[in-house]
Amino acid sequence: MMKKLASVGLTVPPGDSTLLEDVLRNIGDRDLGHRAPYTRELVEWLCDQGCDIVSAVQSGLFSLGRTHHLPEWVMGLVEKQELCWLAAEAISMGESLDDIDSLIERTGMDLAKIRARNGLSLLQTAAANNRSDCVEWLVSVKGCDPEEKDDAGDSTMHRTWGIWRWRL
């Protein structure tokens, strides 16, 4: 199903959680029967596209005054998102690389998919916060791509030009 959506060019604006809110609202505590695998696949795909599941759960369900009981896997995605944000905040706050690594490992996610609240990758977050130690570690140890582009089309190299030196 997700391959079909991607093949027709469906994209979700970064940070827009409207569609995700609608999907979660329809999950509720009903038995989805045969649709359950597709619903989970859709929610995971939307999260991969940059939808904010934490905000979607909060505004999509609780602001309506509903008392849905969301499946455990949805709450697991919420926890992963919050850990991603903590990892990005740890970079911004100058925390140690060991602490950042611990948070990254706890997410259990592909490093390239981890995003800060503002949509930046961890590498872009490190560059934006002049964390040359973290940038070097993310590239050389963790394998991040320094040519990764942000939503404006700028690579991490654009962001860090003049801030740190590459060791070739």
Higher-confidence residue of 154 and 92: namely 92
Environment class of residue 88 by beta-carbon count within 10 Å: exposed (0-12), middle (13-18) or buried (19+)?
Answer: buried
Q: What is the pLDDT, as a whole number, of residue 78? A: 87
Q: What is the pLDDT, as a whole number, of residue 102? A: 92
Structure tokens at 148: 């990764």
**pLDDT tens across 47-94, in order?**
877 788 888 887 755 555 554 567 788 888 888 888 888 999 999 999
Mean pLDDT score across all residues of the chain: 77
pLDDT above 90 for 29 = no
- The answer to whether 134 and 126 are in contact (CB under 8 A) is yes
- The answer to whether 155 and 121 are in contact (CB under 8 A) is no
- The answer to whether 105 and 141 are in contact (CB under 8 A) is no
Q: What is the pLDDT, as a whole number, of residue 163? A: 47
Of 22-36, 64-78, 108-122, give the lowest mean pLDDT range. Answer: 22-36
Environment class of residue 47 by beta-carbon count within 10 Å: exposed (0-12), middle (13-18) or buried (19+)?
Answer: buried
What's the rounded Cα separation, in Å, for the pair 90 and 77? 20
Q: Give the closest residue to 46 by CA, choosing from 58, 59, 56, 32.
A: 56
**pLDDT classification of 6: cutoffs 50, 70, 90:** low
Q: How far is CA 115 from CA 13, 30, 36, 71, 161, in A?
A: 14, 31, 27, 23, 22
Higher-confidence residue of 94 and 33: namely 94
**pLDDT classification of 31: cutoffs 50, 70, 90:** very low
